[in-house]
Chains A and B, each alone.
Chain A
Amino acid sequence: MTEFAAAAMASGAQLRLRQLTKAFGASQAVDRISLDVPAGAFVSLLGPSGSGKTTTLNLIAGFLTPDAGDILLDERSIADVPPHKRNIGMVFQSYSLFPHMTVAENVGFPLRMRTRLSRQAARQRIDEMLALVQLGHLGTRYPRQLSGGQQQRVAMARALVSHPRLLLMDEPLGALDKKLREQMQVEIKRIHRSVGTTVIYVTHDQTEALTMSDLVVVMHQARVSQVGTPRVLYEAPANLFVADFLGDSNLLTATIAHVSGDELAVEIGNGEKIRAARGTSAAAQGSRTVVLIRPEDISLTATDERTAGQDVVAGTIKDISYHGDTFKLDVALGADMLKVKVPRERGAGMERGQKVFLTWNSSVVRLLPAADRTSDASGEDAR
């Protein structure tokens, strides 16, 4: 876990969700979600649409009232506190800047509503905030005169001007194009480090979540699928859904062939046995399981160059696509199809129909539970 500046701890609130539940008619939007967010952390709620992440955010904000459960800010329950009294900042996907107010007036809005700062003091705060988001010279403009990225920065300044201890962000970069999105991601992180407030960031873009967050909460079908740092989620997913949702993955159904101490071997579709990392899952010989191998962890050679301690399987290239810095190949292994990602020089000589040898470190072969409440019901192979 990344370290937080002492100052950050002081200016961000600790957030706890306890068995938060919300249904709309017959459909369960949020199902008994519990979460502990450390003070000052940048936490992403990541998931496909319909997973409940926006509903959760709206519950934290107070726009929706929970059917059951509690929300605690700095150990004090706020579930009964109306949204305008929660002292939270929020940024929306559509920026939601007040069109009839100037940038400075927009940013100063929370001060007018929440505080009794003198005009001078307010002016100073507004200037501070505008400087923080690097828009100091645009105070007298109107929102419609600004670009999308600038408007979003004004929205951030407005959200932070009254020094809230919690900042909510609802897919704020969804309306921006790729280049601008990446720039803004860096901006947002920089601002977060300066201000130190706790951030809850909703997104469906896993790259965004992985690059920006201290913690990621993967949500699926109204429940929390897994919570962890980006590395843990990517390299040690706890279930099928997380393994499949983050990054490219090869998911192979297999049967546990052999367990002894730290060693584990599974039998995959074409009958071959490969070694796997034990992980934390209980593994009984003969039981069905799913193994995860990331495409970039697989090495591809034209000839059998196996070294001791590595598993090698043979397959045939079914398809190759060029991605600039890498080649992505589909390699058939009996009934299974494996996705392999290789650097450009590696893939340059390969052709469709070619027989190749795949190899990897056994530590990258991870076991996943075969069937999971929080995963898609299919334990299908990748593709």
Chain B
Amino acid sequence: MSATAGRLGLSAAVLAVLIYLIFPVIVVVAISFSSGNFLVFPPPGFSLRWYESIAGDPEWVNALWVTLKVGSLSALIAVLLGVPAAFALVRHVIPAKALLSALILCALVTPPIVTALSTYLFFVPLGLVNTVVGLACAHAVSGMPFVVINTSASLRSADINLERAAVIHGAHPLWAVLRITLPIISPGIVIGAIFAFVHSAHELLVATFVLGGVGKPVAVKIWSGVQATSDPTIAAASAILIGLAIFTFASAAATQSLAKRRTA
């Protein structure tokens, strides 16, 4: 098998897989702009009516607000707890480091239904069901791994000697961490926070159990909508979430290049 034939075969395979990956996303976005009534692709015409109906529907607007509140709060908690943990894991010698790492990451491999059910059973006696704070606390657990992983990566590539240079020349160690190292690793922290936020915005099962009633977030509303109606409002709501994903992706990339330019 010649090299070029192999390369062509590989390129073809890659292209096919990429189309398989991307296409459904394009479908949903396209339908959200559809002027037709049914979930038909390709859409018959262009229209913003589904976005308008979402904007005008207080339930949808409220859901978006809830998603934003829960997402931001859980990302904040994840950062406040995850960044120090990353420092501990990267900079210090700790017994059973692998075990502790695994503990932090295990929220990501646990089946969501198990997390959802157990969290609900735990929250009921605590009175945390149907509260934004409760859901945020639960989401913070799965947001933490993202923050820890990204902050750790940043920390590992940062030059520790910069912090040491500050300390040896008189700066208090905490000052050096806050004023020297933290700005350097902030891209990693921001990316982790963004990942945590997006994860919370997409999360369905825990949200259904904990906040599935009156003040439900967007993901839950989409899910009930998907099973009930068949008009493209759902597609529009989905497209908003996609837009959110792309926006966060872009801001993460922008943060990266900004940081690179500053320390070049």
Pick from A24, A84, A98: contact of B168, CB below 8 A: A84
A162 CB-CB contact with B under 8 Å: yes
B residues in contact with A88, CB < 8 Å: 168
B residues in contact with A98, CB < 8 Å: 162, 165-166, 180
Nearest-neighbour CB distance to chain B for A153, whole angstroms, equals 15
Q: Which residue of A lies closest to B169 (CB)?
A: A110
Q: Which residue of A lies closest to B163 (CB)?
A: A96
A99 touches B262 (CB 8 A): yes
A94-116 interface bits toward B, Cβ cutoff 8 Å, 1 = contact, 0 = none: 10111110000000011011100
Nearest-neighbour CB distance to chain B for A297, whole angstroms, equals 42
B96 CB-CB contact with A under 8 Å: no
Pick from B159, B161, B167, B180: contact of A84, CB below 8 A: B167
B93 CB-CB contact with A under 8 Å: yes
In angstroms, Cα B164 to Cα A92, docked, is 9
In angstroms, Cα B168 to Cα A168, docked, is 10
Q: Which residue of A lies closest to B170 (CB)?
A: A113
B94-134 interface bits toward A, Cβ cutoff 8 Å, 1 = contact, 0 = none: 00000000000000000000000000000000000000000
B residues in contact with A62, CB < 8 Å: 168
B71-112 interface bits toward A, Cβ cutoff 8 Å, 1 = contact, 0 = none: 000000000000000000000010000000000000000000
A89 touches B168 (CB 8 A): yes
A83 touches B159 (CB 8 A): no
A45-65 interface bits toward B, Cβ cutoff 8 Å, 1 = contact, 0 = none: 000000000000000011100
A24 touches B173 (CB 8 A): no
A residues in contact with B18, CB < 8 Å: none
In angstroms, Cα B165 to Cα A90, docked, is 7
- Residue count of chain B within 8 Å CB distance of chain A: 19
- Residue count of chain A within 8 Å CB distance of chain B: 32
Nearest-neighbour CB distance to chain A for B243, whole angstroms, equals 34
A144 CB-CB contact with B under 8 Å: yes
A82 CB-CB contact with B under 8 Å: yes
B180-192 interface bits toward A, Cβ cutoff 8 Å, 1 = contact, 0 = none: 1001000000000
Pick from A94, A100, A113: contact of B169, CB below 8 A: A113
A90-B168 CB under 8 A given contacts A24-B93, A84-B173, A96-B161: yes
A114 touches B169 (CB 8 A): yes
A92 touches B161 (CB 8 A): yes
A159 CB-CB contact with B under 8 Å: yes
Nearest-neighbour CB distance to chain A for B54, whole angstroms, equals 44
B262 touches A109 (CB 8 A): no
B164 touches A162 (CB 8 A): no
Q: Which residue of B lies closest to A158 (CB)?
A: B169
A: which residues have CB within 8 A of B?
A: 24-25, 61-63, 82-84, 86-90, 92-94, 96-100, 109-110, 112-114, 144, 155, 158-159, 162, 168
In the assembled complex, 20 residue pairs joining A and B whose CB atoms fall closer than 8 Å, in A order, are: A61-B164, A62-B168, A63-B164, A83-B168, A84-B168, A86-B168, A88-B168, A89-B168, A90-B168, A92-B164, A94-B161, A96-B159, A98-B180, A100-B262, A109-B171, A110-B170, A113-B171, A114-B170, A144-B264, A159-B169
